[in-house]
Amino acid sequence: MSETNGTKTAKLYRMVMPDHVCPYGLKSRHLLKSKGYEVEDHHLKTREETDSFMEQHGVETTPQTFIDGDRIGGYDDLRVFFRLDPPPEEQSDTSYTPVIAIFAVALLLALGLSWHQYGTPLTVRMVEWFISLSMTILAIQKLQDIESFSTMFLNYDLLARRWVPYGRIYPFGEALAGILMTAGALVWISAPVALFIGIIGSVSIFKAVYIDKRELKCACVGGGSSVPLGFVSLTESLMMTLMGLWMPAKVLLF
């Protein structure tokens, strides 16, 4: 590695124009500094200067990082160089990160609400809030691009395949049930809706994954999802089914 007076050095070439500062250039500079490198920060200040640099080095993008005279590449390549990410050939196009983030935030919100309302985070209502808030947040993800969601949903949902408009209705039903269950209101509406879409979803996912053995991506966090269809996806539908049964049972029993 390049060293000056015992300090590791790297050369970074990035776009810094009056109307545009490349965000990946900023991220590359921050990553290099966080790894202890002294950065020779070269600004490409015009489109012509940027095009000339790319032509000279035979690259199609900037930023570009050089260490020891060797070109490391862009920000993604830099992450691989520092072993923060696996090489491209080892990277998977699926990830559970989006759904884990949603469930984690929903759980923390439910714990916080329970703590505020009852003075303790661990209550039955906390579990109800966790499920209802998860439903609501997942519905928001779907509603951001309902066209994309409905298209991916058609890959496996049995009812949507028979009646295409169901793919557009589903996110609204999930949001409605989640909001009402969070409020503990209008159970006679929320419970049947959750039960209906929960059972259909459970059956559809179980058939696609465990009977047909199909490898699909789940539309649970929207049409651009990288979450594989499987146990986590099935959990969403089973939680809705559980809430659809529990909420009216609680009203009748308590």
Distances (CA, A) of 1 to 11, 69, 72: 11, 9, 12
Listed residue (169, 185, 193) closest to 245, CA to CA: 193
Greater model confidence, 91 or 167: 167
φ, ψ for residue 185, nearest 5 deg: -120, 155
Per-residue model confidence as pLDDT tens digits over 59-73: 999 999 999 889 999
φ, ψ for residue 201, nearest 5 deg: -65, -45
Whether the pLDDT of residue 5 is over 70: the answer is no
Gap between the Cα atoms of 250 and 254, Å rounded:
6
Greater model confidence, 226 or 246: 246
Per-residue model confidence as pLDDT tens digits over 170-211: 999 999 999 999 999 999 999 999 999 999 999 999 999 999
Q: Which residues pair with 217 in a beta bridge?
A: 228
- Given pLDDT bands bounded at 50, 70 and 90, which one contains residue 50? very high
pLDDT for the residue numbered 150: 93
- Given pLDDT bands bounded at 50, 70 and 90, which one contains residue 6? low
pLDDT for the residue numbered 147: 94
pLDDT for the residue numbered 89: 76
Whether the pLDDT of residue 43 is over 70: the answer is yes
Question: Across residues 219-230, what is the average pLDDT?
Answer: 81
pLDDT for the residue numbered 203: 96
The alpha-carbon radius of gyration of the chain (Å, integer) is 25
pLDDT for the residue numbered 1: 47
Greater model confidence, 125 or 2: 125
Distances (CA, A) of 61 to 51, 66, 106, 112, 233: 9, 14, 39, 45, 37
Cβ atoms of residues 10 and 37 within 8 Å: yes
Q: Residue 27 carries which side chain, given as an amino acid letter?
A: K
Listed residue (134, 159, 139) closest to 149, CA to CA: 139
pLDDT for the residue numbered 87: 86
Burial 95-117 (b: 16+ CB within 10 A, else e): ebebbeebbeebbebbbebbeee
Beta strands 20-21; 64-67: pairing state: unpaired
Strand boundaries in the chain, DSSP class E:
2-4, 7-17, 20-21, 37-44, 64-67, 70-73
Enumerate the domain spans of the chain: 2-90, 97-253
- Ramachandran region of residue 59, left (φ > 0), alpha (ψ -120 to 50) or beta? beta
Strand boundaries in 101-218, DSSP class E:
none
pTM of the model: 0.81
- Given pLDDT bands bounded at 50, 70 and 90, which one contains residue 217? confident
Pick the CATH number of 2-90 from 3.30.420.40, 3.40.50.700, 3.40.30.10, 3.10.20.30: 3.40.30.10
Q: Which residues pair with 66 in a beta bridge?
A: 11, 71
